[in-house]
A and B are shown apart, each in its own frame.
Chain A
Amino acid sequence: GDSVTQMEGPVTLSEEAFLTINCTYTATGYPSLFWYVQYPGEGLQLLLKATKADDKGSNKGFEATYRKETTSFHLEKGSVQVSDSAVYFCALNHDNNNDMRFGAGTRLTVKP
């Protein structure tokens, strides 16, 4: 079945450092790919998404490109801020299908 594997954390960076969180997936067909962020005490929020190969999702300085050839959707940000400290989840689902698959989550801590 479909699955998502993401980089284990925790990840600790200094402010303004470059961030990469790796995510790879296994799926049949052409799923949509997502990154969700969970700030302390809050629910998961959609950060960005891509619905087809070579699409780039972007939001709040974060980017991820849907790479079908490598089945990856790595999350990147050029300069992280303390406020980016959160847990990040990679996920996939197929359109009109309620079955979402999540990665294990990666905790990011950004220090001033």
Chain B
Amino acid sequence: GAVVSQHPSRVICKSGTSVKIECRSLDFQATTMFWYRQFPKQSLMLMATSNEGSKATYEQGVEKDKFLINHASLTLSTLTVTSAHPEDSSFYICRRAGRGKLAKNIQYFGAGTRLSVL
């Protein structure tokens, strides 16, 4: 079954509204979660790293005030797209690393959220 649950899978919203995307770690407490976005026919681009108990680390060029990341608990990380505009329309996906020596380099992804801003 799914190890990482991402919700919602699809959002259609009007320009100017804010959209919250949730990513839950189902099998253990994840102190770190990674957020990506993907434009059509392009690669997944790392946006930010969500850290439980501290501020998120954003990649260069990603607006911190636009994409608010909150790692509220050890099992939940949220990405809020504030005042969304059509150019924010994209596919957003979260990722969590495996744990322990045997799970080294195993990555778990959410199912992704397709955001369409009208």
Is chain B found bound to chain A in the same assembly?
yes
Contacts from A to B (Cβ < 8 Å): 4, 8, 32, 36, 38, 41-46, 49, 51, 89, 93, 95-96, 98-105
B6 with A98: CB separation less than 8 A: no
Segment touching A, from B14-22, B67-75, B77-85, B104-112 = B104-112
* B positions within 8 Å CB-CB of A: 2, 4, 6, 9, 32, 34, 36, 38, 41-44, 46, 49, 93, 95, 97, 104-112
> A101: which B residues are within 8 A, CB to CB?
43
Q: Are A43 and B93 in contact (CB under 8 A)?
A: yes
State whether A43 touches B105 (Cβ < 8 A): no
**Chain B binding surface SS class:** strand
Query: Which residues on A sit within 8 Å (CB–CB) of B46?
Result: 99-100
Contacts A41-B9, A43-B6 given: A100-B43 contact, CB under 8 Å? no
A97's nearest neighbour on chain B, judged by CB, is B105
Interface residue from B97, B105, B111 paired with A49 (Cβ < 8 Å): B105
